[in-house]
Amino acid sequence: MDIEWVEGFEIRVKADHNAVVIAANKEGLLSLAKQLTALAEAAPGQHIHYDENNSLEEGSAEMIIVREK
């Protein structure tokens, strides 16, 4: 699965009580849209793992999105 990033992306993820807040600039939202589309076309069980070491802004919570059935 190809993971595409739009140049200049910024994405932050925060767990706030019972809610997950995803905040991103335009490039970040476009990147997520491309990646979610690719994941939707992938086989069940595939996933994308986001954290501050590979894609999210410093201080962000980890986020894992899994393709089910």
- What tens digit of pLDDT does each residue of 38-60 get? 999 999 999 999 999 999 999 99
How far CA 10 is from CA of 6, 58, 60, in Å, comes to 10, 10, 11
- The reported pTM is 0.90
Residue spans of beta strands (DSSP E) within the chain: 11-16, 19-24, 47-50, 63-66
pLDDT at residue 1 greater than cutoff 90? no
Give residue 24's pLDDT.
98
- What tens digit of pLDDT does each residue of 4-36 get? 999 999 999 999 899 999 999 999 999 999 999
> Which residue from 36, 55, 56, 57 is spatially nearest to 47, judged by alpha carbons?
36
Dihedral pair phi/psi, residue 61, rounded to 5°: -80, 155
Tokens found for residue 55: 């894609």
